[in-house]
Structures are given as C-alpha cells and as structure tokens.
Structure 1
Amino acid sequence: MTQRDVAASVRTDNGNGATRERNEREILAAAERVFANHGYRGASLAAIAAQAGLPKSNLLYYMGSKRGLYVRLLERMMARWNALLDDISAEDDPAEVLEAFIRSKMQLSRRHPEGSRLFAAEILAGAPFLQDYLRGDLRDWVQARAAIFRQWAERGLMDPVDPVWLIFLIWSATQHYADFEAQVLGITDRDALSDADVEEITVFLTRMVLKGCGVAPRADESER
C-alpha cells in the first residue's frame, strides 16, 4: 500500500467516525459473501472491494491485509453468536438463558448463513487462521460460561451435565440449518425455511436441550 493510497483512504474517511463505521460495515458484509463463496484462497481484495463499492486502498487502510480482514470477520461472527451469554450470572434462570441463547443463535444463523458457513469451512480446514483465538479468548470465554453452568448444577437448577459439551451441542445444532441448508431443504422438500419452520425448530431444540439438562421449562415455554 503506497503513501498515496493511504492518503486517499484518509481523505475518503475525512476523519468522520460515521463514515469509517459505514465503510467497515460494508467491507465486512462484502467480505463475508466473497469468502463464503470462494474460500480464503479463492477470494481477493479486489473482489471484496468491488462488492463493497469501495477502492481497494480502503480495505487495506481499514483492515490491514486480507488475512487481517478474514480473521476479524471470523472473530466477529463468534462474538455476535455468543454475545447473549457474555453477562450471565449464577443468579440467572438457566431455562431463560438457554432458551434465549438457542433462539438468538437460530435467528443469527438465519440472518447470516454465509458467515456461519464461512466459520464452518475454517474449522473443517483445521482452523489455520483461528488457532490463537480458539486457544485464547474463546477458550477463556467457554470456561467462564462453563463455571456458571456448574454453579447452576450445584444449586440443583440443572443436572450436572458437562457444560463444555453442552455449549458445543447448542453451537452445532443451531448452526446446522445454515451450514447444511441444502441437506435440510432437500430432505424436507422445501425451497426455503419459513419463519414458522424456524420457530418450530427453535421450540424443538429448546425442549430437547432443557429436557436433556434436567431444566424445567419456563411457564410460557411449556405451554407452546
């Protein structure tokens, strides 16, 4: 990236925080589509810039490199998925937390299927770009949530299931409908999942998880 490119990018931004935020949002959305369709090796910064409607120099200015953009996209996906559990405590109701987490994950996979498939492809490839994140920030996040789940079990609010396996189960079950969409639609003879289908799946998964964990459903959930 030349000094002229950097200067052009700065002028485009003009020191305007709103402009930077909008540009970064458009870059990440375009990158999600391009990486999901072509993989890391097949994607190019030029293609991402064209999708975003921005000069290639802007991508380098905001993201630093193709690798930096790719890793940021994957980490954003995980942060988006797991935000709901960031502030939970041992005083919360496990039925409410687990149901809300499943519902949130289902909706995010529905709204961002390309991001879900992109993350799945990275993991299937052995997570070459995410090892530091998986063994660092994400491991710490999972262990902190697991500690709260264990406190719920100690208080008799749920069975003493392994909380790490439980988190894996919820991740995989909710992402299945995005990652394996072709399989789901083919077997069920649908062109797409409707809002009603997604709600039915969400209720089903919630019941299975709560029952498997020995958690009593919330009153309004048990009436569905």
Structure 2
Amino acid sequence: MNEAQPLTRIQARNRAAILSGGLDAFSSAGFRGATLDQIAEAAGLSKPNLLYYFPSKDAIYTALLEGLLETWLDPLHALDADGDPVAEILAYAHRKLAMSRDFPRESRLFANEILAGAPQIGAVLSGPLRSLVDEKATVLRGWMEAGQIRASDPHHLIFSIWALTQHYADFDVQVRAVLGETDPFAGADRFIDQLFRSVLEPVQDRPL
C-alpha cells in the first residue's frame, strides 16, 4: 500500500483494526506465536485484505513498536528540570502507572520484545532511550547534590519506577487474581505516592 497517498476513511479504519488485532495477538502470544490469520480474524478482515495494508507480520509488528516507542518515552520527556523535584518524580511515576492502566496490551508487547532480546528495538534502547535516561539521571543527580531529594543511584531510581508501575500491566492476571474484585490501580496510586515520598524526601534534622 502506498503510504504517501492520504488514506480514505475506510482505509484508515481497516489499518487501525489491523494494528489493534496485531496488538492483541503480539501482546498475548509474542511475535513468534502470533499469526497473520489470528490478526486478520481479530481485525475482522480477510487475510488478503490485511496483506493489502501490510505485506507481512513483521511489518505490522514494526509499525506497532514504532508507535509505541514514541508514546512510551513521552512520560520521561515530561520530567521538568525546573520543577519541584519530589513532585516531578511522583508525577512521572503516576504517568507510568496510568500507562499500565490505559495501555496494558502495549506494555505487554514491549515486555515481550525485551524478553525476546529486543531484536527490533535494540538500537533504540542503546541509543535514544539510553541518551534520554542519562539526561534525566543527570537532572536527578543535580537535585540530590543540592539536597532537594535523598541521594541514591538515579538510574536505579528510574528502573524502580519502571519495574513497579509496569508490573500492573505485565502481570495483570496475577495482580487481579490476588486482589479479586478490588481495582488494583486505586490502591497502587496511593502506595506509589507513599513509597516514593519515603524514598525521595530528605530526612529532616530532629530538633535538639
């Protein structure tokens, strides 16, 4: 399909349906386990019709990852060096948790790609992602040196936010099995705020 030509409304709808079907298939079965037949069925299209829009399974997977990476990096980009340090870091953690709530399939797609050795996005991880994390780690280190937040390893602080927030999407079945009918994100918001405040806020000197 010629991407240079503007899509008609039907073409745009079909393309979106294919990407959504691909997201379902890849996030649940991984790249190797997903098939074009599964994606076509989820999209409500025939396989030949699907191939009109995307020539291969790889093309669908690549399109999904390219769109995902931009969305995935936005919350970290938004961390403002001129803002209040504790508020900025907490806001980042809450944005990441909201992404797990609103985009669980995308989170699992990303996790599956990483577990597979990042064959499609390895260059991005060691290039743009690393540069962005290093940039924000420098901001965190500056806040630490100024005594605005407690000293710790800034890279591992970022990793801990990723690990805690993305758990709610990547291990959704486990979380909901343990909590039952309880909304996991209501409790998670409160816990993340409490946890990271205790990690971040400087210890106040006790009065003599």
Aligned residues: 200
After TM superposition, give the deviation of residue 32 of structure 1 in Å: 0.9
- Which of 181, 185, 198 lines up with 1:211 in the alignment? 198
Contact (CA 8 Å) 1:36, 1:114: kept in 2 or not? Answer: yes
Where does structure 2 lack aligned partners over 5 or more consecutive residues?
A: 204-208
Is it true that 1:106 corresponds to 2:97 in the alignment?
Answer: yes
What is the CA RMSD across the aligned residues, in angstroms? 2.7
In the TM superposition, what are the counterparts of 1:12-31 in structure 2 within 5 Å?
A: 15-16=6-7, 22-31=13-22
Aligned position for 2:206: none
Aligned position for 1:221: none
Q: Structure 1 182/15 Cα, relative in aligned 2: closer, same or farther at 3 Å? A: closer
| Distance across 2 between alignment mates of 1:21 and 1:146 | 39
Contact (CA 8 Å) 1:158, 1:213: kept in 2 or not? Answer: yes
Is it true that 1:201 corresponds to 2:195 in the alignment?
Answer: no
- Aligned identity (percent) is 35
TM-score (norm 2): 0.81
Where does structure 1 lack aligned partners over 5 or more consecutive residues?
A: 1-5, 217-224
Aligned position for 1:33: 24
TM-score (norm 1): 0.76
In the TM superposition, what are the counterparts of 1:65-104 in structure 2 within 5 Å?
A: 65-104=56-95
- Which of 101, 113, 117 lines up with 1:126 in the alignment? 117
After TM superposition, give the deviation of residue 139 of structure 1 in Å: 1.0
Q: Residue by residue, what CA displacement relative to the aligned partner does 1:65-105 show, whole Å, maximum 9, x if unpaired?
A: 43243234234334323312314332111222222222222
Aligned position for 1:145: 136
Q: Residue by residue, what CA displacement relative to the aligned partner does 1:111-147 show, whole Å, maximum 9, x if unpaired?
A: 2222212222222232233211211121112111112
Q: Which amino acid aligns with 2:31?
A: Y
Q: Structure 1 104/152 Cα, relative in aligned 2: closer, same or farther at 3 Å? A: same
Contact (CA 8 Å) 1:98, 1:206: kept in 2 or not? Answer: no
| Distance across 2 between alignment mates of 1:157 and 1:103 | 20
Aligned position for 1:59: 53
Contact (CA 8 Å) 2:100, 2:165: kept in 1 or not? Answer: yes
Q: Structure 1 59/92 Cα, relative in aligned 2: closer, same or farther at 3 Å? A: same
| Distance across 2 between alignment mates of 1:28 and 1:175 | 22
